[in-house]
Chain A
Amino acid sequence: MRNARWPVWCLMLLALAAELLPLPAIAQPLRPAFTTMTLIYWTLMWPGRFGVFTAFVFGLLIDIAHGSLLGQHALTLSVVSYVVLRLHLQLRVFPVWQLTLAVFALVFIEAFLLLWIDGATGRATLGPQRWGPILAAAVFWPVLMAVMDRVRERLERRKSSFS
C-alpha cells in the first residue's frame, strides 16, 4: 500500500548533487539550498515517510560534503523538518505565494542556526554567501514545487493503479 520511497531518495540525492555542482565564484551566493527545499516539499506532502530522520541523514551527508562541523547541518535540517511536520496541515492549504513566504522563513531559520553554530565555534562570517541562498530559495521555490508536484502526481497515480 505504501509508495516506493526510492524515487524520492533519488531526488534528494540529486538535490545534494546540485549543492556540490561546481559554479563560478560569482554565482555561488545565488545557489538555492536545494536539499532543504526538497526536504521541505516531501516532508510537507508525505509526512509519514519523510521527516526528521531523513533530514538527519542528509544533514550528515552535507556536513561531510561541505567539510563543516559534523552534525551542524544534521541539526538545522532536523529543526526545519520538525517545524514542517508540526505545521504541515496549515502549510498544505496555503496558496503558492504564502507557502513561498513560509519556505523563506524556514530557510532563514536554518541559515540563522548555521550562523549561530558557526559563531559558537568561532567561524562566523557574514556576506552574500550567507544570505544569498535564502533569497535564491524563495525565488526558486515555485519552480521546484511545480516540478516536484509533477513527480508526486506520477508516483501517486502509479500507486493507486496498483491498489
Chain B
Amino acid sequence: MVSSSADSEARSYRNASPGLAFFLTATLSLVLMFVDHRGDYLGQIRTWLSAAIYPLQVAINLPAAGLHWMQDNLALRSTLIADNAALREQSLVQAAQLQRMAALRAENERFRALLDTRSRVADRMTVAEVLAVDMDPLRHRIVLNKGSPQGVYTGQVLLDANGVVGQIIRDQIYTSEAILITDPDHAVPVEVVRNGMRTIAVGTGDLDQLSLPFLTRNADVKAGDLLVTSGLGGRFPAGYPVGTITAVDGSEGDAFLEVTARPAANLDRLHEVLLVFSPEPEAGTATETESTPAAEAAK
C-alpha cells in the first residue's frame, strides 16, 4: 500500500525534468559566490537571511541558556554567600591595585606630556554573550547575541578576561559574527613585552596555538615571553595580552624561526566577551586600509 503510493508519486514525476531547475540554481549560486568573494556587496542579503536563521540559533542556544539560568537561579544560599565573599575579596584586592594604578597613570600622563605625545584614552567596552551555536568546523568563528542596533560594528575587537579573542567580521540585526585570533585567516600585530620587538601572530586553525612566522633566526625570543597587541595597523588597541610563546625552533638552514604561542584568552570556553569601542571614530576609517596588509600577510 505504502510503497505503491510512493511509486505513483515517482511515476507522476518521471516526465518532469530537473535540468532547468538545476541550471537556474547552479547559475544563481555561482553568481552569488563570485559576488560574495569579490567584495562586501551582499551584506544586505546576508543580514536578511541571518535574521531568518536567528530563531533557529536562539532555539539551539536555549539548552545552554537554560543551564546558565538554572545555575544562576537554583544556586544554594551557602554557595551564593561563598561566591559573594570571594568576589568581595577580589574586588578589595583589585581596588588596592587600582590605587597604585591611579598614581602610575598620572605619572604616565606626565611623561607623555613631556614627550609631547597624545595621551591614551581609556577604552569603552560592552559585554556580549556568545551563542552556543557551532559554525563551520573548518574555521574559528563565533556568533554573538548583539548586532548593529546595539552599536556593534565590523572590525570591532573582542576581549575576554585574559586577553584578545578576535574581531567582528559581520554585524547583523540580531547577531554578529566574529573571527577568533586562531582562525587560519586571521593575523594580529603583536609585540614582545620583554624587548618591544614587533611581529605578527597568525592563527593556525588550532584553538590553543598561534604561529609567529615572520621572526628571523637572530630574533630575540624565548619560550615564556608575553605577547601583547602592538597597536600597529590601528585595529587592535595597544597593550592587550595576546598569548605566551610556548616553543621556539627552526632548523639551521631556515631564514625564519618556527615560533608558536598559546593564546591568553580561553578560546575554548567562551561564554561572555567584551566588545571594545575604538576611541576615535576617524581612526576607525583609517584601520580599514591599514590593517589589510596584516590580514593579507596571513594568506
Q: Footprint of B on A, CB under 8 Å?
A: 13, 16-17, 19-23, 25, 28-29, 31, 45-48, 51-53, 55-56, 59-61, 64-72, 74-75, 78-79, 81-82, 85-86, 88-89, 92, 117-118, 121-123, 125, 127, 129-130, 152-153, 156-157, 159-160
Residues of B within 8 A of A20 (CB): 56-57, 60, 133-135
A147 CA to B265 CA in the complex, in Å? 42
Contact B53 A71 (CB under 8 A): no
B213 at the interface (CB under 8 A from A): no
Closest to A129 in B: B137
Ordered by A's residue number, 25 sampled pairs between the chains whose C-beta atoms are within 8 Å are A16-B56, A17-B60, A20-B57, A22-B132, A28-B137, A45-B9, A52-B21, A52-B22, A52-B24, A59-B29, A67-B136, A67-B177, A70-B36, A71-B36, A74-B28, A75-B25, A78-B22, A78-B25, A78-B26, A78-B29, A79-B22, A79-B26, A82-B18, A82-B19, A121-B33
B58 to chain A, nearest CB (A): 11
Contact A28 B22 (CB under 8 A): no
B170 at the interface (CB under 8 A from A): yes
SS of A interface (majority): helix
Contact A51 B18 (CB under 8 A): yes
Residues of B within 8 A of A78 (CB): 22, 25-26, 29
Contact A64 B6 (CB under 8 A): no
Other-chain contact of B2, A17, A89, A130, A156 (Cβ < 8 Å):
A156
Contact B5 A159 (CB under 8 A): yes
Interface size on B, residues (CB 8 A): 55
B219 at the interface (CB under 8 A from A): no
Other-chain contact of B52, A23, A45, A61, A123 (Cβ < 8 Å):
A61
Residues of B within 8 A of A46 (CB): 6, 9
Given contacts A64-B52, A152-B6, 5 further A-B contacts (CB under 8 A): A61-B52, A68-B139, A81-B18, A121-B37, A156-B5
B30 at the interface (CB under 8 A from A): yes
Contact A157 B2 (CB under 8 A): yes
B182 to chain A, nearest CB (A): 12
Closest to A86 in B: B18
Contact A48 B134 (CB under 8 A): no
Residues of A within 8 A of B37 (CB): 69, 121
Contact B299 A64 (CB under 8 A): no
Contact A56 B1 (CB under 8 A): no
Contact A25 B268 (CB under 8 A): yes
Contact A75 B26 (CB under 8 A): yes
A105 CA to B31 CA in the complex, in Å? 27
A123 CA to B22 CA in the complex, in Å? 26
Other-chain contact of B53, A56, A64, A69, A152 (Cβ < 8 Å):
A64
Contact A22 B64 (CB under 8 A): yes
Closest to B299 in A: A122
Which of B43-51, B153-161, B224-232, B273-281 is near enough to bind chain A? B43-51
Contact A70 B207 (CB under 8 A): no
Residues of A within 8 A of B235 (CB): none
A90 CA to B32 CA in the complex, in Å? 33
Interface residues of B in 129-152 (CB under 8 A from A): 132-139, 141
B205 at the interface (CB under 8 A from A): yes
B12 at the interface (CB under 8 A from A): yes
A23 CA to B135 CA in the complex, in Å? 10
A135 CA to B157 CA in the complex, in Å? 38
Other-chain contact of A89, B10, B132, B268 (Cβ < 8 Å):
B10
A89 to chain B, nearest CB (A): 7
A4 to chain B, nearest CB (A): 14
Contact B32 A70 (CB under 8 A): yes
Residues of A within 8 A of B32 (CB): 70-71, 74
Contact A22 B134 (CB under 8 A): yes
B42 at the interface (CB under 8 A from A): yes
Interface residues of B in 104-144 (CB under 8 A from A): 132-139, 141
Contact A129 B16 (CB under 8 A): no
Other-chain contact of B42, A52, A70, A82, A129 (Cβ < 8 Å):
A70
Contact B29 A17 (CB under 8 A): no
